[in-house]
Every structure is written in C-alpha cells, then in structure tokens.
A = this chain, B = another copy of it.
C-alpha cells in the first residue's frame, strides 16, 4: 500500500489528540501538518505528554496550500470552523473528513436553528456523506467529503438500527437514555468541567434539547425511509464522573413480542468489524472498549414484555469520533477497514 499524506486541522482538543494517537500507529498515514491558531509554534507533546517521543511536529497556523497538498485532511475543530475552510480544499480535489458537526445535518434550516449560526457553504452539505460505515459503507468509499457522526448519534443509531430496519417497534416513542464521560465536552476551560464539579456526581443535562437530537432523528429517518412517519426520539444525555466512554440505554415498544431479537442483532452485525453483539444477558461496560473503535452492545426483552432494551457502549473519542474517522479514511482510500485500529482495549 502507498503512504498517504494527512493534514489535521485543530489538533489541540481531545478528538484531535486521539486522532494523532491513532494516526501514529497507522501503517500508511504520514502526518504532514497539525494546525492550531492558538498554539501555533508549540510542540504537540507539550500539550499531550503521552505523545512525547512519538511525534515531533509543532502546531502551525492553518495554511490552505499546505492543507490542499495533503491527500486527506481531517477537521477536529469546533463546529463552524470546517465550513469556512472545506470549500477551497474540496475545490482543490483534497478529500476531507470532518469530525465536527458542520456537515452532518442535511436540513440547513434545522442545522442553523440548533447551532445558532448561518451555514457558510450549504451547497456542500448535500455532497457530504454521513460517515457511519455500518449504514453508508459504499457511499463513504466514493465520497470526497465525509461528515463523521457525533458520539451520541453513533451509539444510538447502531443500537436501534436492526429494530428499525425490521419495523419492529413504535417509532413515535423511542427513548435514548445516554451517559458520557467528561471528555465528550472537550478540553475547554469551563468551571462545569472541573474535577471538583464532575467527579463523584452524576446528572442529566440538555433534557429540553441537545444538538445531537436532530442528527439522531435524521439518522433514524434514513433507516426507516422517508416514506415512513418521521421517528420521534426522547433523548436524555447524562454526565459521567469519568473521562472516556459513552453508554446508551435504548427503549422501544415492540410491535411484535415474539421475534428472536438476539438472532436478529447477531445476524445484522455478523460481518461488521467494529460492532460486537454480546451473548444474551451480558451487559457491556464502557471500559471494555476504551481507546478502541469497538462498539459492543446487547439486546434485552425484560420479562418477555413488549419493551425492547438495547445497551450500547463505545469510546466517545474513538468510535464516537476519531477512530470512526480513521475507519472512514480506510474505506475512502481502499485500505482494509480495520487498518491501524486493531489494538485491544486497555483494561483494567
């Protein structure tokens, strides 16, 4: 396989650092440039001491020529940044994987409402492929612009997928009770994210509305098709007193209580390299996927009643962000889908 020249825009946040960690062990990726306006000139290993000895590059100001000269450019930036830089890269023929939210939602008005700003390049949104390989594998292979799913949406969509594809549940009262480690909120200097605030506690947040809700509902709708009534989800995220990991507990009313759900899930995900259906009765734990691109899940039907429960775990920074971005890169470039993503999770 040939090497590929990679650029990373926004390398100071946790998704950026995770991307670097994964690119370092990727056999074909050659990191050309890592940009950061705020930290330009500072060695990456200054901010991320784990990478000391593994990467010698310093952050640099973003330069469109240098980026356009890469084969592939990742955006690990806050929303709103990619949309200003992506058009020129697309024009230059560079392939782009955006880990931020800029190109995920196809309904521009909906995006602008939830993100509170005007979109700078709506024409590119429809060109972007939603980068959930388990749903859009073939389209991703051909895409020039991939919009990586959010962390919560990845776990919720993978969890509901088989039930919805088979039209087994009431789509008007879906529930996702999710919990994320604090790294999901990023490396931001906010009082709410201090150890003294988050540790030893648990709470819900964003109950009245979270930006991942329209993204998830769009994905659910893609699964059941636009002819069906638009699905409605109640989505409640919670903040866990830990760093990494997302756990989603999904509830859906079964229209038919007699389906073999275990067999359904096993069959649907048999060929997927990163979705692991656990044996009946075993609940996944977030640490069992830490630092990897795995999504492990299990399907339950408590007391044989008419309610299905799906429990799903992923690492929010890996399968929920930068690992999935690498998985998409592998697909786009024709590498084996698991290239550079095969190390087992660290446990305990």
Which residues of A line the B interface, CB within 8 A? Answer: 14, 17, 21, 24-25, 48-54, 173, 175, 177, 179, 181-183, 187-191, 193-205, 207-209, 232, 234-236, 238, 240-245, 247, 249, 251, 253, 276, 278, 281, 283-291, 294, 296, 300, 302-303, 305-307, 309, 311, 313, 343-348
The chain B residue sitting closest to A17, CB to CB, is B347
Q: Which residues of the partner chain B approach A52 to less than 8 Å between Cβ atoms?
A: 276, 278, 288, 296
A241 touches B238 (CB 8 A): no
Query: Are A202 and B347 neighbours in the complex by a CB distance under 8 Å?
Result: no
Chain B residues with CB under 8 A of A240: 202, 240-241
B208–A195 touching, CB < 8 Å: no
Q: Collect the chain B residues with CB atoms within 8 Å of residue A302's CB.
A: 207-209, 234-236
In whole angstroms, how far apart are the Cα atoms of A323 and B262 in the complex? 38
B234 near A307: Cβ-Cβ < 8 Å: yes
Contact of B187 with A189 in the complex, beta carbons under 8 Å: no
Distance A175 CA – B314 CA, assembled complex (angstroms) = 23
Please list 6 pairs of residues, one from A and one from B, whose beta carbons are closer than 8 Å in the complex, sorted by A's number: A21-B344, A49-B296, A50-B345, A183-B348, A202-B285, A203-B285
Please state if B201 and A245 are interface contacts (CB–CB under 8 Å): yes
Smallest distance from the beta carbon of A319 to chain B beta carbons, Å? 14
Q: Which of B51, B201, B204, B285 contacts A201 (CB under 8 A)?
A: B285
Asked whether A14 and B196 contact (CB < 8 A) given A50-B290, A240-B202, A344-B54, the answer is: yes
Known contacts A50-B345, A253-B173, A346-B21; A204/B236 CB under 8 A: no
User: Which residues does chain B contribute within 8 Å of A187, judged by CB atoms?
Assistant: 191, 194, 196-197, 348
Contact B201 A287 (CB under 8 A): yes
Number of chain copies forming the complex: 4
In the bound assembly, the distance between CA atoms of A311 and B177 in angstroms comes to: 11
Known: A203-B285, A307-B173, A347-B17. A196 touches B196 (CB 8 A): no
B residues less than 8 Å from A207 (CB atoms): 283, 300, 302, 309, 311
Nearest-neighbor residue (CB-CB) of A24 within chain B: B344
Q: When chains A and B are docked, how far (Å) is the Cα of A1 from the Cα of B236?
A: 47
Expressed in whole angstroms, the minimum distance between the Cβ of A270 and any Cβ of chain B is 13
Q: What is the CA–CA distance of A190 and B49 in the complex, to the nearest angstrom?
A: 18
- Give the residues in chain B near A247, CB-CB below 8 Å: 202-204, 238
Determine the distance from Cα of A309 to Cα of B247 in the docked complex, in whole angstroms: 19
- B276 & A204 in contact (Cβ 8 Å cutoff): no
Which among B48, B189, B307 is the interface contact of A191 at CB below 8 angstroms?
B189
Q: CB distance B348 to A244 under 8 Å?
A: yes
Q: Which 6 A-B pairs have the closest CB atoms?
A: A203-B285, A201-B287, A50-B347, A50-B345, A177-B177, A49-B288
Please give the distance in Å from A183's CB to the nearest CB on chain B: 5
| Residues of B close to A179: CB separation below 8 A | 179, 202, 238
Q: Are A200 and B287 in contact (CB under 8 A)?
A: yes
* Separation of A302 and B303 alpha carbons in the complex (Å): 29
